[in-house]
Amino acid sequence: MAQSGTSAAFDIRRSSASNLTSLSPSGRLASVDVYITSQCNRRCTYCFLPADFFTSGARMSMDDFAGVVRWCHRQGIHEITLLGGEPSLHPSFGAMVSLAAARRLNVRVVTNGARRFRGLLADGTIGKRNLSRVAVSLDTLDQTAQDCYRGPGAWQDAIDTIKLLRTCQVPFDINVTALRTALNGLDALIGFAEREGCRRVNVHWPSTIGLGSGLSTDEIPGDDEWKAIVRRIEARREARPGFFVEIERGYLDDGMPLTECAVANFSNLEIMPDGRAYRCGLLVDQPGMASLIMTGDELSLSRSAYGEELLRSTMPPTCDGCPVMRPDDRRACIYDKVRSVSIGSTC
C-alpha cells in the first residue's frame, strides 16, 4: 500500500491542484506539528523519519508556513509545534516563531539543542516572549551512550540548552526515547529533570520506522518490560507542583479497548515541508500514505480512496487496534499516554 522515496510527496501537490475537498478537523485537535525543514545536525539511530527525508533538502517556505498559521488561527488551534530535522536550522526559524506567536498561538519547539538554537535564544530572537515551551531531546545522563545514540556532542548540546532555557526562563520539557540500554538510568534522568526545573518528561517508545527500522531488536523493550515501566510512572507522586512524567501506554492489557486513534478521531495533524499532511505520526515515513495536503491556508483531502484516508474509511466501528499494526498486536495508540501525579497541582 505504501510507497517509498520522496518523489511521491511532490506528485501529490501536482496531481491534486484542483478538485480538492477542504477539511476541518474535529474539536479534539488542539495542536499541530509542522516539520519546517529536513536539515538536521544529527542522525539519531532511532529517528522515525527515513534517510531520504534528510537528503531531500525539503524546506517549508515562509509563505507556506504563514498559510499554516492562518489555518490554525481560523480553526481555533491553540498550539503549533515546530520540528525538523532540527527546526532551528531553517533560515527563517526565528521569523516563523515570531509570526506564530503574533497570531496568539502557543509556540512549541522540539530541538536536539543545536548550537544555532542556543544562539537565537542567547541573542533574544527567541525567548519567553514568543516561545510557550521547548522540548529538548535527552535520553540518558550517560554522555557516552547519548553520543552513541545521537552522534558526538549530542549530550553536551542538550545539557547546555537545558541550562540556557532555565536562565532565560523559558518552560521546557525533556523528550526521552526509551531504548532498553537507557532504562536503568531513567529514574536518574527524571530526578535531574525535576531539579533543573523541567515541566514534563515525555517518554517515547523507540521508533522502528524510518531510520529506526535499522535499530537492533535488543534495544526494543519487551511487552512486560514496557508495562512495568508504565506502572512505575503511573505510581509516581511528584514532589514539585506542576512537574510530571508522561509515557506512551505502549500495550493494551487483555480486554482493554483502544481508547484513542488519531486517524479515526482527527485528534492529531502532522504537516511536512512540502505540504503533505497526516493524522498519524506512525505514517510520516511513507509519502505514499499521505492523503491530505496543506496548500496556502487550506487543508484538503487529496486522495479519497488512498493511503491514510483509505485506512480511516475502512476501519470497523469498534476498532480494537491500530490499523497499521498486525491484528494480533495489542499495541495502544502512540497518543494514548499515562502520567505521574504532581502533588499540590491539578495537572
- Judge contact between 271 and 277, C-beta under 8 A: yes
- Judge contact between 129 and 156, C-beta under 8 A: no
Helix axis angle, 62-75 relative to 93-102, nearest 10°?
Answer: 20
Q: What is the pTM of this model?
A: 0.90
Q: According to the model, what pLDDT value does residue 209 have?
A: 87
Mean pLDDT over 42-52 rounds to 92
Backbone angles phi, psi at 331, to 5 degrees: -85, 140
**Which residues have CB under 8 Å from 145's CB, separation 6+?**
139, 181, 182, 185
The DSSP element (H or E) to which 334 belongs, if any, is: none
Residues shown for the chain: 347
Strands 276-278 and 200-204: unpaired
Q: According to the model, what pLDDT value does residue 326 have?
A: 59
Q: What is the pLDDT of residues 76-107, one digit of tens each?
A: 999 999 999 999 999 999 999 999 999 999 99
Backbone angles phi, psi at 295, to 5 degrees: -125, 120
Paired residues of 342 in beta bridges: 238
Q: According to the model, what pLDDT value does residue 324 have?
A: 62
CB 22: neighbour CB atoms within 10 A? 9
Question: Could you tell me the sign of the dihedral formed by the alpha carbons of 203, 250, 85, 292, in that order?
Answer: negative
The proportion of the chain whose per-residue pLDDT surpasses 70, expressed as a percent, equals: 89
Rounded Cα gap, residues 92 and 116, in angstroms: 12
344 — pLDDT class (breaks 50, 70, 90) = low
CA-nearest of 321, 297, 318, 293 to 307 is 293
Strands 270-271 and 276-278: antiparallel
One-letter amino acid at 312 equals R
Q: According to the model, what pLDDT value does residue 130 have?
A: 98
Cα 61 from chain centroid? Answer: 20
CATH assignment of 7-342, among 3.40.50.1000, 3.20.20.70, 3.40.50.1820, 3.10.20.600: 3.20.20.70
314 — pLDDT class (breaks 50, 70, 90) = confident
Check pLDDT > 70 for residue 223: yes
